[in-house]
Structure 1
Amino acid sequence: MSTETGAAAGTDAGGTRIHNIGYRSYDGPRLGRAYARRSLFSQSLRGSFGLGRSARSKVLPMLLFGVMCLVAAIIVAVAVTVPNTTDLPMKYTSFAIFLQAVIGLFIAAQAPQSVSRDLRFKSVPLYFSRPIERVDYVMAKFAAMASALFVLTGMPLVILYVGALLGKFDFGHQTKGFGQGLVSVALLSVLFAGLGLVMAALTPRRGFGVAAVVAVLTISYGAVSTVQAIAWETGSSDAVPWLGLFSPITLIDGVQTAFLGASSAFPGGQGPGAGAGVVYLIVVLALVAGSYAVLMRRYRRVGL
């Protein structure tokens, strides 16, 4: 039976008709892995601030970003209006340490949003089908979260710096402090992004991911600070710098105290010296590298 006869018979028998819907092969440019990686990075970075998502998704990240910038603006206003003031009341390197609760809340809310939904809806294998690969996915998510944190922590420093210059404070001193602050928050952003994504990627349930991130970033800081205060009050001051190795935010505090001329928030202002600072830096770099390795292993299991 010919094709025409078969089609006619099928139409007469069942009232159906086969149409040629015109599928054609794609002849345009193949943009490849690099384009896919950039697109995933851009989408993840925008999503960290709720851009391209519902209005409700924008509320918390934008509110936290506004709080960070508002605190910086208030500091500038105080410094400019108080007579005979020659410097900002807070160092650039101290800003993120004192606002670490806001930063922790941001990463706790946005890290699960970045990775948990892909795990929950099992869309990761679709990413890995082609042309993107596991390393592209992990790198894009890691870079996007670190960039979002850098925007969150770096913009207030820009406000402080611009305000200080408008207040006609010493240009060289302010520029040096601003540069040290940017280095500090860049290191903080990479460390917090890695730890936050690891905690969030361990479970597809967003609530569990939020709790895990809060425990690692915020509760650990409270526990370490309490133990440090006890050690200081009981005369074990030598142990204070070494206890700072057990919390992400105190790790950043130790690194910037040892190498960036920052004032330590440890009890008694007793931060690590240069020797202990090397240990702090090694631990930070090890945690960043370890976070990347854990993410790579995690997505090997949930890939194809």
Structure 2
Amino acid sequence: MSSQAPDTTPTPDANRTPDATRIHNIGYRSYDGPRLGRAYARRSLFSQSLRGAYGLGRSAKSKVLPMLLFAVMCAPALIIVAISVYTKADKLFVEYTQYAVLLQLVVAVFLASQAPQSVSRDLRFRTVPLYFSRPIERVDYVLAKFGAMASALFVLTATPLLIMWIGSMLAKMDFAEQAKMFGQGLVSVAVLSVLFAGLGLVMAALTPRRGFGVAAVIAVLVISYGAVTTLQGISYATENTDAIVWLGLFSPLTLVIGLQNAFLGAPASFPAEMQVSAGVGAVYLLVILGLVAACYGILMARYRKVGL
């Protein structure tokens, strides 16, 4: 029985000498410019998200729906102004605080289409950890997205009020009265914008699928309002009028309606023109603040998980 000697033929790796290793300079240079930090990153993300809500900086197709909704939101205000100027009316035909309530469907569709666009794509393509690498942190991301969506809604809802106020001046209406009502309307839509933005972003952030986010936002805003108003109508028909005001706590839009009725002098939109007292209005305010805080907390918890 013979044994075969091992093959001692040197391999290419064995022949490699230390001198065979080369480091090639391919032109990369270290960054020696200014370090703008978290504040700049947060502002940039806010600006990018706000512009993106109206399709700016995106494809032409992405601009169609938000710009169309913006035009639809402003068109009734222009008509109201034209009629008021032509007829020389001494007051506008629609209260400033009622305008967003009457066009609630437009606001809901805008939020349902743009909230998922703001957060769902980052979740779907798993780019959120890239934001958190540095210098931006989780709180910066949430505040930038929250603020951008609230600002986009405020632009959508406040621009028609500005058109109406300018029209009232052209119609030579009382300046002090119109300025006061215009200010009340701005406060109302500011509260609506913050509340709706929080709810919309939470619904959109729960799923990376945009379609599910759209359906969830529509369900929370539109279906809840329809259910509450139906129950309020039943309460009025059965002469249980005390329940009408308290039922308003269970819908985002009726929360805003009750708050502005209690503190801004807005006309009552509830059945039987039920007025919300200051005490009950304080409850409405606490619920709104609680919902906004809860939305912020849920978003922070959500991005703690996906940011890992």
TM-score between both structures, scaled by the size of structure 1: 0.94
- Is 1:56 matched with 2:71? no
State the Cα deviation string for residues 171-219 of structure 1 (Å, max 9, x = none).
1110000000000000000000000000000000000000000000111
Aligned match of 2:274 in 238, 258, 270? 270
Percent identity for Structure 1 against Structure 2: 69
Q: Deviations over 1:45-83 (max 9, x none)?
A: 000000000111111100010011111101111222225
2 CA distance for matches of 1:271 and 1:196?
29
| Residue correspondence of structure 1 range 149-298 to structure 2 within 5 A | 149-298=153-302
1:20 offset after TM fit, Å? 2.1
C-alpha distance in 1, partners of 2:52/2:86?
A: 38
Aligned amino acid, residue 133 of structure 1: E
1:41 correspondence with 2:80: no
Which digits, 9 at most, give the CA deviation of each residue in 1:240-290, with x for residues without a partner?
Answer: 111000000000000000000001211122131111100000000000011
Structure 2 partner of 1:12: none
21 and 161 in structure 1: CA distance in 2 versus 1, 3 angstrom threshold:
same
Helix, strand or coil: the match of 2:92? coil
Q: Secondary structure at the match of 2:132?
A: helix
Once residues 23 and 6 of structure 1 are traced to their aligned partners in structure 2, the CA distance between those partners, rounded to angstroms, is 20
Counterparts in 2 of 1:31-110, with a 5 A limit?
31-83=36-88, 85-110=89-114
Please say which structure displays the higher CA radius of gyration. 2
Once superposed, what is the RMSD of the aligned Cα atoms? 1.1
CA distance in 1, matches of 2:101, 2:273: 13
Q: Using the alignment, how far apart are the partners of 2:84 and 2:159 within structure 1? A: 18
Q: Look up the match of 1:28.
A: 33
Secondary structure of 1:168's counterpart equals coil
Partner secondary structure for residue 129 of structure 1? coil
**SS in structure 2 opposite 1:243?**
helix
Cα distance, 1:6 vs structure 2: 5.1
Q: How far apart in 2 are the matches of 1:281 and 1:235? A: 27
Give the alignment's TM-score, normalised by structure 2: 0.93
C-alpha displacement at 1:2, in angstroms?
A: 5.2
Gapped regions of structure 1 (runs ≥ 5): 8-17
SS at match of 1:173: helix
Residue 151 (structure 2) aligned to one of 124, 127, 147 = 147
Give the distance between the partners of 1:53 and 1:134, measured in 2 at CA.
25
Stretches (4+) displaced over 6 A = none
CA distance, structure 1, for counterparts of residue 182 and residue 241 of structure 2 = 31
Q: Residues 300 and 162 from structure 1, CA distance in 2 versus in 1: closer, same or farther, beyond 3 angstroms?
A: same
| Aligned-residue offset at 1:239 | 0.7
Aligned residues: 292
**Shift in Å, 1:226:** 0.8
- Distance change >3 Å, CA 89–CA 300, structure 1 → 2: same
